[in-house]
Structure 1
Amino acid sequence: MYMLSVPMGWERGALVLRPCGEIDLHTAPALTEAARGVAEPWREMVVDLSGVSFMDSAGLHALIGLSQRCRARGGRLTVTGVREQPARLLDLTGLSEVFTTT
């Protein structure tokens, strides 16, 4: 069984997702769905990847989807805590230039 834990919270008005584990074909839907059930309105989102050791193209697709949802609300997606393997993937695909990263 594949699992991805996606704790969430609020910081300075932004919805913060903190996935832990690996984001791949089997677990990426958990990241995509995490913000769907939030009743409180949000525009800004932060995805803290410090707990993610591995991410594949399904993880990239999930981040792109979350970014599109933010833009549709007039906000933006910020990606923080990017570890080595996900950082390489973001760099190779050019997405490190698309997302705000810290």
Structure 2
Amino acid sequence: MMEADKLLAKTLQTREREELTDEEKGKLFMELMEKRRKHFAALRAQEKRNRPPTKAQKRTQMSTYLKHMEVQESNKKKVEGSEEKAKSNKKKSLSKKRAWK
């Protein structure tokens, strides 16, 4: 039974090969090569993405992180300073309103 299936598959494949013209065979071959090229390019790109960062990359990442932390701290100080000024201005305006009454 299995031998009959294998024989049938071989005969069908040979018929299909005979039916295809050289031009069609060339197109199919070019499509196959294009698919292989894209596949291997995708694998190379994936390998690049999965590589650990180099020492220089780690250094730049750390310096960027530290710069952002300094910016956040200075922004917090500015916000705290402006809140304190707003509170003191509010107290002054309230005291002026009471003085006029």
Range of TM-score over shorter length: under 0.3
Which of 1 and 2 has higher RCO (CA within 8 Å, sep 6+)?
A: 1
Which structure shows the higher strand fraction?
Answer: 1
Higher helix share: 2
TM-score by length of 2: 0.23
